[in-house]
Structure 1
Amino acid sequence: MPTGNAFAIDHVECRGGENFLKIYSHNGGRQSVDCYANRGRTSFGNWWVDRIITGNNDLIYYDANGDSVRINRWTDISFPNHPPKVKDIEIL
């Protein structure tokens, strides 16, 4: 599952009823569902992102092409046809 060095951001256990950032991703035949809390930026390991649920977090993801994309809190977005390959994520 994607992990990396962080500044304050925490990779946490996904639990129902929590408003964590939740990211569904895949890479090399593996799939992962990861949750994050707290402000900061961390590596996401160039995984392909299928779905993002921001919960109560404003998010910027940095894709492998060098673009940055902001997604506001309380957003649930899916990428069924062209998932982004994400290098880093940042909770604002």
Structure 2
Amino acid sequence: MNPKKFLRSAAVVFAAAASLTMTIPGNAYAIDHVECRGGENYLKIWSHSGGRESVDCYANRGRTGFGGWWVDKISTGNNDLIYYDANGDSVRINRWTEISFPNRPPKVDSIEIL
């Protein structure tokens, strides 16, 4: 191989690798909305809004919007959780915790698995 071509190719590969390193964060995590299945230790949230009810499960570290739904019950499974409510408060709930809000459910704007 021609030495000039080799150096040019090496420079292109190096530049591509450097640009990927700068654009991909080191701790990239993405919370996932997953199918609720028995026997799994997912974060599970029972909620309601506008006459509708929902049961949602989440896995993996990260933060996602929750749309201002009223939360009736949370089971954290093997996840540490912070929920951010409409009042601007953040509340941490440790893993292996189940909590119900029968009288005053929080209105949650987003959730974060730690």
Do both share a fold (TM > 0.5)? Answer: yes
Aligned length: 86
- Does residue 86 (structure 1) correspond to residue 96 (structure 2)? The answer is no
Aligned partners of 2:85, 2:44: CA distance in 1, in Å? 17
- Does residue 18 (structure 1) correspond to residue 40 (structure 2)? The answer is yes
Q: TM-score, normalised by structure 2?
A: 0.75
CA RMSD in angstroms comes to 0.6
Higher gyration radius (CA)? 2
Aligned residue in 2 for 1:72: 94
Aligned partners of 1:43, 1:30: CA distance in 2, in Å? 18
Q: TM-score, normalised by structure 1?
A: 0.93
Q: In percent, how many aligned pairs have the same letter?
A: 85
**Greater relative contact order structure (CA < 8 Å, 6+ sep):** 1
Moved over 6 A (4+): none
Q: CA deviation at 1:46?
A: 0.1
Aligned partners of 1:91, 1:42: CA distance in 2, in Å? 9
Where does the alignment leave 5 or more consecutive residues of structure 1 unmatched?
1-6
